[in-house]
Structure 1
Amino acid sequence: MSGVLAGEKASESYRWRLATRADLPAIVEIYNSAIPDRSATCDLEPVSVESRETWFAESNPERRPIWVGYEAGEPDAVAGYLSFEPFLNGRRGYDPTADLALYLHPEHRGRGLGGFLLAEAIAHAPLLGVRVLATTIFASNTRSLRLFHNHGFAEWGRMPAVADLDGVIQDVVLVGRSVA
């Protein structure tokens, strides 16, 4: 399935579809590409496909999907992914809120895919029963902060010095917005 409910949802250059198990190696490769620059994840070592199997299996297309973005005409070439994650500890009282994770292949950063996927997530969230979208971003990741702010997310909190990435201390910014 691709698009909002069925069919294809597109920008001029990009499209998205539900991730399949066959996409998991590409998703892991994209995630791992963000680890060395220490700007988008607290993982310090690459993750394996096997270590992400449970995460993928627990995603739910009707409530907490994982999408892959791709260039028009290349649906099998994953250029990035967006996942709707349980908020905080996943307790049922937090169900109206989704924690977004958005990662792009290095060749697709700054080319519009992130904005496309984020705009689609905002539009699609109410169909998932989501009223609030949130995410955490390192304060030093100004590109991601700008992307989310440009899509109506506001800073809801700042957690100083909570991440230590091999001696690089990072503040983490919580951003969010209503989509109801």
Structure 2
Amino acid sequence: MRFELAQANDLAIIVAIYNQAVPTRLATADTEPVSVASRKEWFAAFTPDHYPIWKIMLDDEIVGWVSLEAFYGRPAYGKTAEISIYIAATKQHHGIGKAAIQFVESQVKQLGITTILAFIFAHNLPSQGLFKHFGFEPWAHLPDVAIMDGNDYSLDILGKKY
């Protein structure tokens, strides 16, 4: 397994992997699949030197991606990043998420990141457990802030200082 900076020509696969998560109601608040066109601006905001997006490669196949994004878009939060990890449905539960967090943790110092936040639905117990395994702690609980399919969902913010 290896991690490589994602390139613009990887966006279609990145979007396809993301869209696999939409119907599960576990990892995203998007309720409909997103298009490649709608994600171009989002993708362009990543920078390899501070807020990167990496593709996760297994052999020659992209099996997931992990990113660090700006938190809240204000200069004072410049050393804080929001982490996202999406793994292809057929490759989940094979240790890729753990490898992704270990990789990101090996990169934070050179990126100038001192705090990582993970926004995880309270009912997403596998992701909650994954991040807690790496020392992320609950920093906030936002009760019933998302409505999907007529159901209320709570969001937890887990954080870790480096």
The TM tier, using the shorter chain, reads: over 0.9
The aligned counterpart of 2:104 is 121
**2:66 pairs with 1:79:** no
Distance 1:146 1:176 in 2: 13
The aligned counterpart of 1:36 is 23
Tell me the alpha carbon deviations over residues 4-46 of structure 1, each in whole angstroms, 9 at most, x when there is no partner. xxxxxxxxxx111000111100000000000001111010011
> TM-score scaled by structure 2?
0.98
Alpha-carbon shift at residue 130 of structure 1 (Å): 0.3
**2:98 pairs with 1:111:** no
What RMSD over aligned residues (CA atoms) do the two structures have, in Å?
0.7
Q: What's the % identity of the aligned pairs?
A: 37
**2:13 pairs with 1:26:** yes
**2:36 pairs with 1:52:** no
Report runs of 4+ in structure 1 exceeding 4 Å deviation: none
Q: Which has the higher helix share?
A: 2
The unaligned stretches of length 5 or more in structure 2 are: none
Q: 1:131 aligns with which of 98, 114, 128?
A: 114
